[in-house]
Amino acid sequence: MSFIFIFMAVALICSLGWYLDSRQRAEFRKKFPPLTDDEFVERCGPNTDRQMALKVRNIVATQLNIPSAEIYPEHRFIDDLHAD
């Protein structure tokens, strides 16, 4: 069910960009080092469909123009990904 919410959120931010200056990017990478697909799926919780989780991750990364390795399941669109 939580992926339905994520899909709805992705639809709302489709036209938004992700803009950070280099200092903010460095801070972001320090706080959120890149995750492999396996690490991402592990953090999604029990009974999470791997393909669905990675598909959502890739959609969010594409729409926000950031590497998918920098997307965490616990990210908040506005506070962490600056999609406002």
Q: Which of 81, 41, 37 is nearest to 63 (CA)?
A: 81
- Write out pLDDT tens, residues 4-35: 656 555 654 543 444 456 777 788 788 889 99
Residues 84 and 69: their CA atoms lie apart, in Å, by: 21
Residue-level pLDDT at 81 = 81
CA 20 vs CA 3, 15, 38, 61: distances in Å: 26, 16, 27, 15
Residues 44 and 42: their CA atoms lie apart, in Å, by: 5
Q: What global pTM score does this model have?
A: 0.68
DSSP reduced 3-state for 38: helix
Is the model more confident about 39 or about 65? Answer: 39
